Amino acid sequence: PHPCLHWKMSVATFRKGVRAIQLVGRASMSFIYLCFVLKVFFYSFVLFYFGFFFFVYYYVFSGTYIIAYSLVHNNVIYLYLCIIWYLHIILYKVATTFHAKM
């Protein structure tokens, strides 16, 4: 193609890329907020469902305690909770670092 046309095309693709990056940034921010809301719901659920002492244990030992507890008591629910918790932490870290780089 003609050099001018080629330049215009490259500008268009660059703009598309910028738009995509902005979209991803906004998505990551909304995901961070969603994670925060989920965390609040999660904590309130744990408090309401398992009582205050479990909440203290959970806060001190986090996921590791839940893994041990689920292995000892053969309770799969705790294992699922733990997996969700660790996933959410990892995704939150990824989203925050990605947004900081922008």
Query: Global pTM?
Result: 0.31
Q: State how far Cα 24 lies from the chain centre.
A: 14
- Confidence at residue 76, expressed as pLDDT on a 0 to 100 scale: 62
Taking residues 72-89, report their average pLDDT: 67
What digits encode the pLDDT tens for the residues 25-78?
A: 777 777 777 777 777 777 767 666 666 666 555 555 555 655 666 566 666 666
Under 8 Å between Cβ of 23 and 79: no
Between 1 and 27, name the one with better pLDDT.
Answer: 27
Whole-angstrom distance, CA of residue 6 vs CA of residue 29: 35
What digits encode the pLDDT tens for the residues 9-29?
A: 777 777 888 888 778 777 777
